Structure 1
Amino acid sequence: MARESDTPQAWNEAYRWVEQDPAHGVAFAKAEASWEMAGTLRAPTRADNDAVVHGVGANDDMAADGDEAPANPGRRRFAAMAAGVGLVAAAGGAIWRYAGPARYSTAVGETRLIQLPDGSKVRLNTDSAIDVAFEREIRQVHFVRGEAHFRIARDASRPFLISARDGDVETTGTDMNLRVRPDLTELTVLDGKVAVLDHGRTLTEVSSGSSAMMRAAAISVVPLPKGELAQKTAWQQGEIYLQGETLAQAVEEFNRYRRAPMVISDPRIANIRVGGMFSARNSDDFIATIRESLGIDAITGSDGSVMLIRKSRGEDQT
């Protein structure tokens, strides 16, 4: 497709053509990945202002000094995303068969540092898994489950593409944390910027110091203060950092690292707020703290599970 025919009608045709056959997606990806995404993820210049399209919600001042703002930015950015994340669903199967993915995973309570062939590093948190497949034009990861910190080596000619349950992420080099929660997928960008595409084809740019909450057809981006950034990466030091979460939320975090769960057996204590820094792999310290300071008792079962209940009045007085 000639770039001079970059019209809404042309991009509608491109959408339909890519969806017809996975092979179309692979062909389009190889033609577009290097050219378009490299422009999207660097600062634009006057020379290429007509080729770079900014993320959703970009300021119209980007087209100042007489430069005409790009017509139909959503479709222009589709060229980049079709080169990678936009094709994960449509053409992912063909790419995986060609490259042959490698599976990396962790057990419950385990973390693992992975060195990828391009120099990128991935640290997997507890009970996590990714599939990695690299080609000459594309570095591709299928995020299977759990949580991971990515420190991606910069390569403007070969985008790094991550396909997750609720959306797809593309970058040419960044530092970020990705976690698949039960109800959404959470992306935290620590350095650089990434393009995110949900399954409804909404394209959003997420920059350093921000977090994106992704569901199947929606993305919400919020800036994070330093304290919250530290909280989201505390697991890399083997810690759980609580800043006023409910007891139910805290228990959910600790259970990610336990083979036998903690269970809140008394609904009256579920919304008690807790705080502090605790070892992720030693929940005994957390249990001792809430017993002493919050009037909560813990009953350990023969299988190692722990039931949390409110202490009786008689126990409080002893």
Structure 2
Amino acid sequence: MVDRESAADIEAAAARWVVRVDREGDDPGVRAELETWLAGDRRRVGAYVRAEAGWTHLDRGRALGLETPVARPTPMLRRRGVIGGLGALAAGLAAVVVAPRLLAKRYGTALGEIRRVPMADGSVAAINTSSELEISMRPRLRAVRLERGEAWFAVAKDPDRPFVVESGPVRVRAVGTAFSVRKHEAGSDILVTEGVVEVWTDGQAPRRVVAGQRVFADNGAGVQAPPKADDNLARQLAWREGQIVLDGQTLAEAAAEFNRYNDRKIEVADPRLAGERFVGWFRTNDPEGFAEAAATTFNGQVLTSGEAIVLQAG
């Protein structure tokens, strides 16, 4: 039985298609491939339209590092040809080109912000809250430096230009795959959702990490433990869709996760409550909803004090 494609995978693929169509949309073969892809799952139509709208209308200056977006006069006939019967949905959207000299750029997200960035090579980055990275497209290398925070990458295949993420002294190398990197003070977490990557630190031998595995790379000691299979990758990457999925985490751990995304911080004032484990699904921007649900479950109460949401025993 073939696993049903996840919504996150469809959104990532749609973003890659938008970039490809922007570059190669005059090619009838590309148009035919796109129409075949769209026909394969009805969810893809909406994902494509959203990705194209984002490619054109979202904050282009910050998302792609362009001081002034450069519009290309693309005939509407080409748009209609590219998406066949879906042309009416995409009408009015203009394409944007990226000058080569502008390809090395910095991207950042504010507290609570989650951003998808289509790259010039067809890859896509999803950047989590309070994160910052720099992408440099070079003739023989696609280099990314994660300066803080977390990002997930769906990497377009290009054997002649490896895709290397630098997170402090930690390095992650891929050719065509999908993985996330989260930078901590002591090292980096790497989760692989597709394909294979190599992980190492300066002076250390690379370790292979395959789809469905995670590994922690210590800044000083490198990858000491073998990669572990992880059945919770979808939960850990739910932030890409603006979600926090709890599956037995303690309330203290859950509060820390919500606090990554919000100015209003959750404080678990009672040690007994802090150790209770919770299961639930929430939006990243709904700390109040989580606190109320936890209080109801464990007979606690929620108090608000300034910018704090205090969860305490009832």
TM-score range, shorter chain: 0.5 to 0.7
- Is the aligned partner of 1:275 residue 2:253? no
For residue 289 of structure 1, what is the amino acid of its counterpart?
A
Q: Alignment length, in residue pairs?
A: 212
C-alpha change, 1:308 and 1:240, in structure 2 (3 Å) is same
2:227 aligns with 222
Q: Secondary structure at the match of 1:218?
A: coil
> In 2, Cα distance between the equivalents of 1:249 and 1:286?
12
For residue 243 of structure 1, what is the amino acid of its counterpart?
D
Q: Deviations over 1:183-214 (max 9, x none)?
A: 44111111111111124513201111111111
Gaps of 5+ in 1: 1-97, 312-318
C-alpha change, 1:184 and 1:272, in structure 2 (3 Å) is farther
2:149 aligns with 146
1:111 aligns with 114
> In 1, Cα distance between the equivalents of 2:249 and 2:265?
18
Deviation at 1:182, TM superposition (A): 4.7
Deviation at 1:99, TM superposition (A): 9.3
Q: Assess if the C-alpha contact under 8 Å between 1:101 and 1:132 holds in 2.
A: yes
Gaps of 5+ in 2: 1-100
C-alpha change, 1:201 and 1:211, in structure 2 (3 Å) is same
Q: Assess if the C-alpha contact under 8 Å between 1:99 and 1:135 holds in 2.
A: no
> In 1, Cα distance between the equivalents of 2:278 and 2:244?
12
Aligned-pair Cα RMSD in Å: 1.9
Q: Secondary structure at the match of 1:275?
A: strand
1:132 aligns with 135
Q: Secondary structure at the match of 2:227?
A: strand
Q: Which shows bigger deviation, 258-267 or 177-186?
A: 177-186
C-alpha change, 1:146 and 1:287, in structure 2 (3 Å) is same
1:260 aligns with 264
Deviation at 1:152, TM superposition (A): 0.6
Q: Under a length normalisation based on structure 2, what TM-score does the superposition of the two structures give?
A: 0.64
For residue 227 of structure 2, what is the amino acid of its counterpart?
V
For residue 149 of structure 1, what is the amino acid of its counterpart?
W
Match of 2:105 among 102, 105, 111: 102
Q: Assess if the C-alpha contact under 8 Å between 2:200 and 2:217 holds in 1.
A: no
Q: Deviations over 1:113-135 (max 9, x none)?
A: 11111111001111111111111
Match of 1:238 among 237, 242, 263: 242
- Is the aligned partner of 1:193 residue 2:196? yes
Q: Assess if the C-alpha contact under 8 Å between 1:190 and 1:208 holds in 2.
A: yes
- Is the aligned partner of 1:291 residue 2:272? no
Aligned pairs for 1:22-171 within 5 A: 101-165=104-168, 167-171=170-174
C-alpha change, 1:100 and 1:278, in structure 2 (3 Å) is closer
Q: Assess if the C-alpha contact under 8 Å between 1:130 and 1:141 holds in 2.
A: yes
C-alpha change, 1:138 and 1:225, in structure 2 (3 Å) is closer
Relative contact order (C-alpha < 8 Å, sep 6+): which is higher?
1
Q: Which has the larger radius of gyration?
A: 1
